[in-house]
Structure 1
Amino acid sequence: MGNAKETVSRIFTQPAQERSGGNKVITLSSGRKVSFCKEHIAAEEVAAKTSVAEDHNGRDQAALTEQSLKDIIRTLSFQQFYPVIGMRRGDIIEILDGSRRRASAIFCEVGLDVLVTEDELTPAEARQLAKDIQTSREHSLREIGMRLAAMKSAGLTQKEIAKSERLSQARVTRALQAASVSGDLMALFPVQNELSFTDFKILLETQKQLNRQERSVAELVKNIEPVVQQLKGRADLAEDEVKKNILLEIKREAIILGKKPPKDKPVITPLWAFSDKNRFARKKVSGRVFSYEFSRLPTHIQGELDRVISEVLQNQIED
């Protein structure tokens, strides 16, 4: 119970906040004061009337699976202890802090209490506010990386990002690497917070391996999806065991794909050998489609080829 009191104190009675009637006034990182009032969103309206901008909230929404949220779903079905924080954008409330509670409310079909401001917050104010009042599980390395990637896209160097976020440059690098893992691969894991930096390195190397072999992540995911679904449904496996087994399936399938030639890879057959390497005459076959390709041949040869092909088609193909 002591932890709960500490959390409430950190959210609502910290020096940067004041009370004003039924509202709560919060001092932002810019020094600007904004007022928040409490609202209740009905269960059937949570998905439609609220949204999450990942570059503000910092939480990877694709990682919020029902299994990863089971701890919140269990309690939220009966009571919501802390309201989420949001700002109104037209008819939608953008959730700055509490996206796990929002997703859980959608899963268990209950309403959601929100502290919402009518004031427009800048991206920097929104990010810092979400960071300051964040009460749920710490953001994963990938989620941190996604936030840092947005800063990098805005023109900041990794050194500047490290200084701004008070992180080591090594952690910035690791976080950005974690954010580079394909969303399709990440979707295989029911509880993505179980992934360590070593696991992210394995996934990144798998992506590079597939790229070198001219195979796709989508192909790998499709091939192992049935096995992954079975692993997710096994009640005898702990969350970290499910993760380990999925990683094994990914590595195993990557090796198998590396041994198989890609489906329908074009087969090219030279039709003539020229002394000039820039000239060629060849046939290309890809599945049931074939074509003839020529380069730097005289115009009269092109005309002759057209005539012969037309003649063959007329004689051999019936209407």
Structure 2
Amino acid sequence: MSRNRKTIGRTFTPSTFSHIANNENSQIFTLSSGSKVEFTLVTVPAEEVEIGTFVVQEVNGRDQAALTPESLKDITRTLPMQQFFPAIGVRRNNKIEILDGSRRRAAAILCHTKLTVLVTEEALSVDDARNLAKDIQTAREHNIREVGLRLLALKNSGLSQKEIAESEHLSQAKVTRALQAAAVSGEMLSVFPVQSELSYQDYKALYSAEALIHAQGETVSEIITQLKEDIDAIRHQAQAAEDEIKDKLVALFRQKSASLTQPKGEETVVTSLWRFEDKNRFARKKSKGRMFSYEFNRLPTELQVEIDNAVQQVLEKHLTK
């Protein structure tokens, strides 16, 4: 590129990127088209990672909405100290598109730390970029939904499921399962702290639950609002393992969607009696018809004793003959 050419848009200068160009810090990759491309090691400063790099999900293959702080704990624990493998990227419009390493990128943004990337200046085609990203995957294996999101892009381009299966060397059954997992809305999945824990059977259950929700004229957003207290209580169980939290959330959606098909009876009305800063603590009353109950969680023993005494006194006042 000519040095006299005026650059349009944001420019990353040598002071912004530590660009090390020597044989020890470069690598040659062979693309699916057969051409060989040189990648050079670049260090992106912490303050530039979010704005100076980006990810195209259809190319990278990783579901970016699933990169929650909980799902990145294995990387954020070590990244501030050292990055074991560089991400792989291509420079486009003065920014770096991350082909492989979007989890490392997301973790670097969370930790506000630098990110090392092997970058090529060559203009890669979408097919070359997508195939390269698939060939050099170094992070966690893509889950069934992430496979489905990648296949969905192929389906939207006009390919049939049979053609997708042949081009991706997958069985038609796996293509069907992956596309079904991709059909579950991001809104429903947003309540799961670690989406990688979800299995195909979980996605199948959520897909069916979402279909029932829509069939009854409800929206996922409305259901999540109705279940907010239960969802928060499950997510904040400190001693629960990630898969246990996932199982309870899936069961919650299955139960709620199933209840929508039942004949409408009297609904349970939940009234909060006190607002706590700690989401795991609550004091509430539940009413359904002539039946009601009070529920408390994580209250001091002294307060429990006082509540017991108060209830006993009120009962004696009104029921003692």
Q: TM-score, normalised by structure 2?
A: 0.73
- Give the letter for the 1:26 counterpart: F
CA distance in 2, matches of 1:122, 1:227: 47
1:184 maps to what in 2?
187
Q: For the structure 1 residues 21 and 110, does the alpha-carbon distance in structure 2 shift closer, same or farther, using more than 3 Å as the test?
A: closer
- 1:209-256 C-alpha deviation (Å, 9 max, x unpaired): 112111111111122233222322222100110001111221232234
> Secondary structure at the residue paired with 1:35?
strand
CA distance in 2, matches of 1:105, 1:149: 28
Q: For the structure 1 residues 227 and 44, does the alpha-carbon distance in structure 2 shift closer, same or farther, using more than 3 Å as the test?
A: farther
- 1:81-101 C-alpha deviation (Å, 9 max, x unpaired): 110001111121110000010
2:201 maps to what in 1?
198
Q: Does 1:214 align with 2:217?
A: yes
Which of 139, 143, 147 aligns to 2:142? It is 139
Q: Does 1:148 align with 2:178?
A: no
2:52 maps to what in 1?
49
CA distance in 2, matches of 1:226, 1:79: 39
Which of 123, 126, 142 aligns to 1:123? It is 126
Q: Where does 1:291-302 land on structure 2 (aligned, <5 Å)?
A: none
1:257 deviates by 4.1
1:210·1:258 contact (CA, 8 Å) conserved in 2?
no
Q: Does 1:112 align with 2:104?
A: no
CA distance in 2, matches of 1:120, 1:258: 54
CA distance in 1, matches of 2:60, 2:91: 14
CA distance in 2, matches of 1:118, 1:230: 49
> Secondary structure at the residue paired with 1:67?
coil
1:21 deviates by 6.0
Unaligned runs of 5+ in 1: 1-18, 262-319
1:172 maps to what in 2?
175
> Secondary structure at the residue paired with 1:75?
coil
- 1:25-45 C-alpha deviation (Å, 9 max, x unpaired): 211010011111111111111
1:254 maps to what in 2?
257
What is the identity percentage for the equivalent residue pairs of Structure 1 and Structure 2? 51
Question: Going by fraction, where is helix more abundant, 1 or 2?
Answer: 1
Unaligned runs of 5+ in 2: 1-21, 265-321
Which of 71, 75, 86 aligns to 1:72? It is 75
CA distance in 1, matches of 2:45, 2:259: 49
Q: Does 1:93 align with 2:80?
A: no
CA distance in 2, matches of 1:22, 1:211: 53
- 1:89-128 C-alpha deviation (Å, 9 max, x unpaired): 1121110000010111111111100111111211111111
- Give the letter for the 1:38 counterpart: L
Q: Does 1:234 align with 2:237?
A: yes
RMSD of the alignment, in Å?
A: 1.6
2:282 maps to what in 1?
none
- 1:243-275 C-alpha deviation (Å, 9 max, x unpaired): 0111122123223444587xxxxxxxxxxxxxx
2:30·2:36 contact (CA, 8 Å) conserved in 1?
yes
> Secondary structure at the residue paired with 1:96?
strand
1:215·1:257 contact (CA, 8 Å) conserved in 2?
no
Q: For the structure 1 residues 260 and 52, does the alpha-carbon distance in structure 2 shift closer, same or farther, using more than 3 Å as the test?
A: farther
1:23 deviates by 2.1
> Secondary structure at the residue paired with 1:206?
helix
Q: For the structure 1 residues 77 and 230, does the alpha-carbon distance in structure 2 shift closer, same or farther, using more than 3 Å as the test?
A: farther
1:38·1:113 contact (CA, 8 Å) conserved in 2?
yes
> Secondary structure at the residue paired with 2:70?
coil
Q: Where does 1:304-319 land on structure 2 (aligned, <5 Å)?
A: none
1:40 maps to what in 2?
43
CA distance in 2, matches of 1:252, 1:25: 53
- Give the letter for the 1:186 counterpart: L
1:77 deviates by 1.9
- 1:107-161 C-alpha deviation (Å, 9 max, x unpaired): 1111100111111211111111011111010000000000000011111111111
2:148·2:175 contact (CA, 8 Å) conserved in 1?
yes
CA distance in 2, matches of 1:106, 1:225: 28
CA distance in 2, matches of 1:68, 1:109: 17
Find the structure with the greater CA-based Rg. Answer: 1
1:202 deviates by 0.7
- Give the letter for the 2:142 counterpart: H
2:40·2:120 contact (CA, 8 Å) conserved in 1?
yes
